[in-house]
Amino acid sequence: MRRAAIERKTSETEVRVALSLDGGACRLDVPNGFLSHMLDALSRHGGLGLDLEARGDTDIDLHHTVEDTGIVLGDALREALGDRAGVRRFAHAFAPLDEALARAVIDLSGRGSFHFRLPGELEQAWVTTEFPLILTGDFFGAFADRGRLTLHLDVLCGRNPHHVAEASFKAVALALREAVSLRADAGSEAPSTKGSLTA
């Protein structure tokens, strides 16, 4: 059973995640509508069962809540993957949304590494009055670090910040879905010349 349940509580946030890599319902209780929209896209297009609750110091801003949600989701992914034996490991996907196009490339390498590229004119853009576009990078940076995966996320073009963020979440979801899928011919070995993706 490729499942995990993780809780994290700090003076800034409280996040609880139950994750299934092999599908299931999506239930979200988070303090921001756009964040909920993005997590729903990640779950649906990633083929993930996701039950997630998050609370945080949103009277300050959304940064702590978004980043800590990425941390806990990454922790859950790492635990659900176990020794990573039999997974495809490498995957990439493109996702368009009207004028926006994002590309995600994933390696379930056992090492956290995140690289995010936005067109320069979008680096200071806001999706809503509460959600700056750069929070997309903060979320996935935390997710890649704690999930111990390499993630390259490139926005190849875009004008509307909502479209850019959503294309980014969908591209990662599609790539993640393939990367965590099990190979029919893999047996019980990790797909690595080292023989391990966790050592």
Query: Is residue 125 situated within a structural domain?
Result: yes
Tell me the CATH number at 101.
3.30.230.40
DSSP string, 108-144: --SS-EEEEE--GGGTT-BSSSS-BTTHHHHHHHHHH
The total number of structural domains in the chain stands at 1
Rounded to 5 degrees, φ, ψ at 44 are -65, -50
Report helix, strand or coil for 180: helix
Query: Is residue 199 situated within a structural domain?
Result: no
Task: Output the six-digit token pair for 117.
Answer: 């590229």
Query: Is residue 198 situated within a structural domain?
Result: no
Per-residue pLDDT tens digits for 136-194: 999 999 999 999 999 999 999 999 999 999 999 999 999 999 999 999 886 666 666 56
Pairwise pLDDT comparison (4 vs 191), residue with the higher score: 4
Query: Is residue 192 situated within a structural domain?
Result: no
Structural domain boundaries enclosing 62: 3-180
**pTM, full prediction:** 0.94
Strand segments, DSSP code E, in 49-176 are 49-56, 90-97, 100-107, 113-117, 150-157
Query: Is residue 113 situated within a structural domain?
Result: yes
Nearest to 128, CA basis, from 154, 165, 103, 153 = 165
User: CA–CA separation, 168 vs 97, rounded Å?
Assistant: 9
Query: Is residue 42 situated within a structural domain?
Result: yes
Q: Amino acid identity of 147? A: G
Query: Is residue 90 situated within a structural domain?
Result: yes
